[in-house]
Amino acid sequence: MPSQRAALYRVSASGPADVSGVEALFENGLDPKTVVAVLGKTEGNGCVNDFTRGYATSTFETLFARHGVTGASIVMSGGTEGALSPHWTIFCRDTVEANPERSLAIGVSRTPDMEPEKLGRRGQIELVADGVREAMADAGIGNADDVHFVQIKCPLLTLSRVAETEARGETTVTRDTLKSMGFSRGASALGVAVALGEIDLEEIADKDICNRLDFYSGRASTSAGVELADHEIIVLGMSDSWSGPLAIDHAVMKDAIDTASVRTAQQRLAEGKLVAVLAKAEPDPTGKVRGRRHTMLDDSDISATRHARAFVGGVLAGLFGMTDIYVSGGAEHQGPPGGGPVAIIVERATNP
């Protein structure tokens, strides 16, 4: 009886243009057609002038064109501060002849193109919520509780999109293109929260977006990119109709040093080999962690997101004993203020 099966590969990169490890996978038999997504950590600053993301994306596009990979999401997150290690995580799925048994499932979807006036408003939340539901269906996940991580690549406003919108007599949430990235990430995360039943759409007003920090998804990870007008959505969860040794669970860190929550999630998973850790991190907006002042938000030499990735990277690397962890910044509505979601994927020692 056939079932779907997920496979993940964590591949080291010696620089943003080094895809030799992925090429080696292809040469050693990985079928490029099974690739559905790449999540990369590159060594730029993860901020405005981080060109390592574009460089890596362009390198992967060339590689994928050469190997016939089509439709795969390419998500690049800049910033490997501290001892975090640049790497690519390749997500694959294939049909195998094996009985289904509760396992890691990967679903993908793309929303329709979004009118720029919806960005950062309830319209985007609805659009993304629909897309997440579609990706859940694609993954064969019926119960929202079985979803443990939703990665979304969302659009941003450009000057020409703002102009085009205003020419139609509409307004955009902001004319500031940088700020539009935060709005898009935030509304996308709230879209996840709505789809997963974490918040009711009716409770959210436009003005809450990027304001009401107590509204968040414990399973969303979103990033904005200039190259798309729709949303690329990847859902990771557990499904009874898949098979294989992989399993996923997640924690929601309450603050930057909340290892207890992560350890609990880790213990819920069966024994096995760690395959991937995916997390969001941000400086606590109160300026304190457990009552003690931090200086991230006042440091004009190093941006606060870099501090946060380095530090939370250390927290998680110390806990998991590995440094090629996906820690991403910019966590609007992704976990509680100062905390964030952490997904853990393991290869179970014995199949369930």
Annotated binding site: 53, 77-78, 185, 223-224, 282, 309, 328-329, 331, 334-336, 339
Residues 173, 186 contacting (CB under 8 angstroms): no
86 binds its own copies (CB under 8 A): yes
Residue numbers 304-343 binding its own copies by CB under 8 A: 306-308, 310-319, 321-324
The correct pick among 7, 9, 11, 16 for binding its own copies (CB under 8 A) is 16
Q: State which of residues 43, 117, 232, 347 lies at the interface with its own copies (CB under 8 A).
A: 43
Active-site residue identified among 3, 41, 103, 153: 153
Candidates 68-76, 84-92, 127-135, 216-224: pick the segment binding its own copies (CB under 8 A). 84-92
Residue-wise DSSP of 88-114: EEEEEEEEEES---SEEEEEEEEPPPP
Q: For its own copies, which is the closer residue by CB, 187 or 308?
A: 308
20 in active site: no
CB 349, min distance to its own copies, A: 21
State yes or no: is 288 an active-site residue. no
Binding flag, residue 257, its own copies (CB under 8 A) = yes
User: Looking at beta carbons only, is 127 or 279 nearer to its own copies?
Assistant: 279
What letter does residue 299 receive in the DSSP assignment?
A: -
User: How far is 105 from 239, CA to CA, in rounded Å?
Assistant: 6
CA proximity to 129, closest of 177, 60, 196: 196
The reply on whether position 17 binds its own copies by CB under 8 A is yes
| CA 347 to each of CA 103, 274, 325: distance values in angstroms, whole numbers, following the listed order | 10, 6, 16
Place of tokens 């080696």: 24
* Per CB under 8 A, 282 contacts its own copies: no
Please give the Cα distance from 184 to 276 (Å, whole number).
26
Q: The sheet that has 35-42: what strands, in order across it?
A: 73-78, 35-42, 87-97, 2-12, 242-243
Which residues have C-beta within 8 Å of that of residue 192, sequence separation ≥ 6?
A: 128, 129, 132, 150, 152, 198, 217, 219, 220, 222
Shortest spacing between CB 42 and its own copies, in angstroms = 8
Using rule CB under 8 A, residue 121 touches its own copies? no
Tell which residue, 136, 146, 138, 133, has the closest CA to residue 102: 146
Spatial contact of 191 and 127, defined as CB atoms under 8 Å apart:
yes
Is residue 81 a contact point for its own copies (CB under 8 A)? yes
Of 223, 239, 243, 303, which one is the catalytic site residue? 223
The CA-atom distances, in angstroms, between 264 and each of 173, 194, 324 are 40, 25, 21
Query: Could you say whether residue 30 binds its own copies (CB under 8 A)?
Result: no
Specify the residue, 80 or 109, whose C-beta has the smaller distance to its own copies. 80
Cβ closer to its own copies: 245 or 283? 283
Q: Specify binding-site residues for Mg(2+).
A: 282, 331, 334-336, 339
d(CA 348, CA 210): 38
**Distance in Å, CB of 174 to its own copies, minimum:** 16
Q: What's the Cα-to-Cα distance from 130 to each of 31, 245, 262, rounded to whole Å?
A: 30, 30, 29
Nearest partner of 311 among 291, 325, 332, 298, judged by Cα: 325
Q: Which of 34, 174, 241, 259 is the binder for its own copies (CB under 8 A)?
A: 259
Structure tokens at 288: 């304190």
Q: Which stretch binds its own copies (CB under 8 A): 137-145, 191-199, 271-279, 301-309?
A: 301-309
Binding mask 154-173 for its own copies (x = CB under 8 A): --------------------
- Give the nearer residue to its own copies in terms of CB position, either 41 or 122: 41
Binding site for its own copies (CB under 8 A): 12, 14-17, 43-45, 47-52, 54-55, 58-59, 80-87, 256-257, 259, 283-284, 289-290, 292-296, 298-303, 306-308, 310-319, 321-324
